[in-house]
């Protein structure tokens, strides 16, 4: 099995397990905590993304540099990791101290509470900060493991720690039925997670240390790339988290809970996309580093087709059947409140997945300036759209702003990367990699929705039967739209999963 196939399989297995656990836990969290307290879980998720950009691009730089490190005993990796730890940990500690200090103010002046006591929210913020601070060095370890192209180990660690976090948290909720006890558990698991990742890194690179060590030489060698990746990360933070921050400020915390529910229900589409992206990044970097542009282009076409084909199935299901899917998962009131948001977010994630490999290409080729400039313009479009749509349509408007942003990526980022890095045309990409699968998905599931609406709009069993039929039709027809070589590779891989036949 090639490295790319192994990475895709391990990402799929690990990501699928995490998604399954998440789907199991969320309904219990909402039922026990209530929608407002569940909004604090949304705060945790948002702050986790905020903390991820505090490394000033060190994590992305580690992945790229480790993948191409040819120094004896990974000496360059050791030096870069020490410098990255010095930068990241310093900023993370300062940020954590500030948030913990202002926890009371945030609880009383930022969030719009109706049921939760401000003291509970303040303590919850402090526990969230402790949990996230412990996860900062873990992120650096994950970058090293990814750069070494050991996504099998990385996914094993992710799946194992998320199993402990989610199932253990479920037990805590069932025993204590309290938000703060759940957040205490999150902090404890974050500490265990750090130990596990550090052991994994030391297994791959014996003697590797996370102890912060500032090196002027390492900074001079990597600062341009790291600065570009940092700028991309900061802008990406504004683009992906401003909606949650704005909702938490201007709408009741309960609304953030519903938005987080819709986001969690559809974000596993992004996990599929992320599995492909992280699997292909080391190979993209290696191909570009050896000037194999034709091979790079062929790989990009295949992985983009596979990504769009795969994510369009769940995205189209949510676009047209979000009420039925959420209604079978969580309590009715929460499902109805989140259904429209989930439908729009699913479309947005589908567009994001289509453009994501172009971002991976830009990073792998050492040209972060391309997505940086595209994101700067996107920010100028997105923030006004978010302000207008959030005020007019609430959390559904926030989802529409996110969809507009991702449509912009497909229209702007993709043609730039296709032309400047691969020397390929945009319409060739649209015809071969994007439109066939999106048009097929919208058509199949749109017709299915019309059938349900016209024949039996109130019969859930009929809706699910039609949905299953539509999914099967899309899967078969979409497979036929994949290029012949990719179909052959999928068939060959499927045969390797079958048990060997015994000779007679």
Please say which residue of 245, 270, 303 terminates a domain: 245
Number of domain units in the chain: 2
| 503 located within any domain | no
pLDDT tens-digit map of 275-291: 665 556 555 655 554 45
* Structural domain ending residue among the three candidates 188, 222, 245: 245
Out of 180, 214, 245, a domain closes at 245
Same domain, 328 and 359: yes
Q: Tell me how far CA of residue 268 lies from CA of 153, 311, 432, 434, 439, in angstroms.
A: 21, 9, 25, 20, 21
Same domain, 280 and 324: yes
Do the domain assignments include residue 265?
Answer: yes
Element housing 276 (H / E)? helix 253-289
Q: Identify whether 436 is part of a domain.
A: yes
Instruction: Confirm whether 123 is domain-assigned.
Output: yes
Same domain for 228 and 338?
no
Give dist(CA 387, CA 237) in Å, integer.
17
pLDDT at residue 278 in the model = 58
Q: Does a structural domain hold residue 88?
A: yes
Are both 183 and 279 inside the same structural domain? no
**Longest Cα pair distance anywhere in the chain, in angstroms?**
76
In a domain, 326, yes or no: yes
The tokens describing 349, both together, are 């994630």
- Do both 156 and 296 map to the same domain? no
Q: Which residue bears the tokens 């990409």?
A: 429
Dist. CA 474–CA 453, nearest whole Å: 20
Does a structural domain hold residue 232?
Answer: yes
What was the pLDDT predicted at 414? 93
Host domain of residue 37: 1-245
Contact 205, 144 (CB under 8 A): yes
Instruction: Look at residue 494 in the predicted model and tell me its pLDDT.
Output: 73
Q: Which two tokens stand for residue 393?
A: 């349509």
Same domain, residue pair 115 and 71: yes
Please name the residues in contact with 417: beta carbons below 8 A apart, sequence gap of 6 or more: 358, 359, 361, 362, 370
d(CA 342, CA 113): 24
| Segments in the chain below pLDDT 70 | 1-8, 56, 214-220, 222-223, 225, 228, 273-293, 497-504
Q: 58 and 11, same structural domain?
A: yes
Residues 266 and 372 in one domain: yes
**Do 344 and 415 fall into the same domain?**
yes
Helix crossing, 253-289 with 216-250: angle to 10°? 150
Tell me, yes or no, whether 239 and 276 share the same domain. Answer: no
Question: pLDDT tens digits, residue range 238-263?
Answer: 888 899 999 999 999 999 999 999 99
Do 3 and 81 reside in the same domain of the chain?
A: yes
User: Looking at residue 187, what is its pLDDT?
Assistant: 96
| 239 and 280 housed in the same domain | no
User: pTM of the entire structure?
Assistant: 0.80
Residues 6+ apart with CB under 8 A from 162: 17, 18, 21
User: How many whole angstroms separate alpha carbon 126 and alpha carbon 99?
Assistant: 7
In a domain, 500, yes or no: no
Distances (CA, A) of 178 to 117, 184, 215: 13, 10, 45
């Amino acid at each position: 099995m090639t490295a790319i196939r192994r990475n895709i399989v391990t990402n799929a297995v690990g990501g699928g397990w995490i998604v399954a656990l998440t789907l199991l836990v969320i309904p219990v969290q909402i039922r026990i905590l209530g929608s407002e307290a569940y909004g604090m879980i949304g705060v945790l998720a948002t702050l986790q993304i905020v903390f991820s950009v505090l490394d000033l691009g060190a994590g992305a730089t580690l992945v790229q540099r480790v993948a191409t490190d040819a120094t004896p005993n990974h000496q360059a990796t050791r030096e870069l990791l020490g410098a990255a730890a010095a930068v990241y940990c310093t900023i993370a500690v300062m940020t954590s101290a500030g948030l913990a200090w202002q926890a009371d103010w945030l609880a009383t002046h930022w969030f719009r509470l109706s049921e939760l006591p401000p003291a509970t929210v303040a303590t919850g913020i402090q526990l969230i900060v402790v949990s996230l601070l412990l996860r900062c060095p873990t992120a650096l370890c994950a970058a090293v493991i990814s750069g070494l192209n050991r996504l099998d180990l990385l996914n094993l660690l992710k799946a194992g720690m998320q199993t402990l976090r989610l199932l253990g948290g479920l037990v805590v909720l069932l025993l204590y039925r309290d938000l703060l006890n759940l957040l205490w558990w999150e902090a404890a698991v974050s500490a265990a997670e750090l130990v596990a990742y550090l052991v994994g890194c030391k297994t791959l690179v014996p003697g590797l240390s996370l102890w912060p060590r500032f090196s002027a030489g390492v900074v001079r060698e990597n600062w341009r790339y790291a600065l570009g990746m940092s700028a991309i990360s900061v802008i990406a933070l504004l683009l992906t988290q401003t909606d949650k921050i704005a909702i938490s400020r201007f709408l009741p915390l309960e609304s953030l809970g519903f938005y987080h529910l819709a986001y969690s229900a559809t974000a596993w589409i992004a996990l599929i996309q992320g599995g492909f992206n992280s699997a292909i990044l080391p190979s993209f970097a290696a191909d570009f580093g050896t000037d194999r542009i034709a091979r790079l282009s062929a790989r990009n076409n295949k992985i983009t087709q596979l990504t769009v084909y795969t994510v369009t199935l769940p995205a189209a299901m949510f676009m047209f059947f979000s009420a039925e899917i959420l209604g079978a998962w969580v309590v009715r009131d929460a499902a109805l409140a989140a259904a429209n948001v989930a439908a729009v977010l699913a479309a947005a994630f589908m567009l994001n997945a289509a453009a994501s490999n172009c971002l991976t290409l830009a990073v792998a080729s050492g040209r972060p300036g391309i997505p940086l400039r595209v994101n700067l313009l996107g920010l100028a479009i997105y923030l006004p759209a978010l302000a207008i749509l959030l005020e007019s349509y609430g959390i559904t408007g926030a989802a529409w702003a996110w969809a507009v942003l991702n449509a912009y990526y497909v229209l702007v980022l993709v043609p730039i990367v296709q032309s400047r890095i691969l020397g390929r045309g945009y319409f060739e990409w649209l015809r071969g990699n994007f439109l066939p699968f999106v048009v097929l998905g919208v058509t199949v599931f749109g017709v299915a929705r019309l059938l349900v609406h016209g024949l039996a709009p109130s019969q859930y069993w009929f809706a699910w039967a039609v949905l299953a039929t539509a999914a099967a039709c899309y899967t078969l027809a979409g497979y036929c739209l994949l290029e012949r070589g990719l179909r052959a590779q999928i068939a060959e891989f499927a045969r390797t999963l079958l048990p060997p036949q015994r000779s007679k």
